[in-house]
Structure 1
Amino acid sequence: MSVRIDEKLFRAADGGLVRAIENLAFEAPKHGFTVLIGPSGCGKTTTLRIILGLDADYRGEVRLPEREGRVAVVFQEPRLLPWRDVEANVRLALPHELRSADLDALFATLGLETMRSRFPGELSLGLARRAALARAFATEPSLLLLDEPFVSLDEMTASRLRALLVSVWSARPTTALMVTHNLREAVELADRIVFLTARPGRLRGVVDLDRPRAARDAVWREATLRAIDEAYPGIL
Structure 2
Amino acid sequence: MQPAGVAPLKVDIAEKTFRSAEGVMIDVLRGLSFEVRQGEFACLLGPSGCGKTTTLRILMGLDRDFSGRYQLPEGSSKRIAAVFQEPVLLPWRTVEQNVRLALSPRFRGKDLDSLFEILGLSAMRSFYPSELSLGLARRAALARAFATEPSVLFLDEPFASLDERTADRLRRLLISVWAARPTTVLMVTHNLREALLLADRIIVLTPSPAQVLGVFDLRLSREFRDTQALDDLILDFHKRFPIPV
1:120 and 2:129 are equivalent in the alignment: yes
1:84 equivalent to 2:93? Answer yes
TM (norm. structure 1) is 0.97
**Deviation for aligned residue 1:137:** 0.2
Q: Number of residue pairs matched? A: 236
Matched, 1:40 2:48: yes
Residues 1:184 and 2:189 are matched in the alignment: no
Deviations 1:180-209 (A, max 9, x none): 110000000000100111111111111111
* Match of residue 69 from structure 1: 78
| Matching residue of 2:14 | 6
2:68 to 39, 60, 70: 60
Q: Percent identity, aligned pairs only? A: 59
Partner-residue secondary structure (3-state), 1:184: helix
Provide TM-score, normalisation by structure 2: 0.94
Which of the residues 23, 26, 30 maps onto 2:34? 26
Question: 1: CA distance between counterparts of 2:173 and 2:24?
Answer: 44
Q: How much does 1:96 deviate? A: 2.2
Displacement of 1:126 after TM fit? 0.3
1:126-141 to structure 2, matched below 5 A, reads 126-141=135-150
In 1, Cα distance between equivalents of 2:243 and 2:212: 15
Secondary structure of the corresponding residue to residue 111 of structure 1: coil
Residue 202 (structure 1) aligned with residue 208 (structure 2)? no
Aligned residue among 160, 163, 175 for 1:166: 175
Tell me, in whole angstroms, the C-alpha distance in 1 between the residues paired with 2:180 and 2:124.
21
Supply the distance in 1 between the matched residues of 2:74 and 2:18 (Cα, whole angstroms). Answer: 29
Question: Which residue is 2:59 aligned to?
Answer: 51
Q: Structure 1 regions of 5+ residues with no counterpart? A: none
Q: What is the rounded CA distance, in whole Å, between the counterparts of 1:95 and 1:208 in structure 2? A: 36
Structure 1 residues 226-235 or 3-12, which shifts more? 226-235
**Runs of 4+ more than 6 Å apart:** none
Distance (whole Å) between structure 2 residues aligned to residue 8 and residue 191 of structure 1: 27
Q: Cα distance, 1:133 vs. partner? A: 0.2
Moved more, 105-114 or 220-229: 220-229
Distance 2:224 2:48 in 1: 31
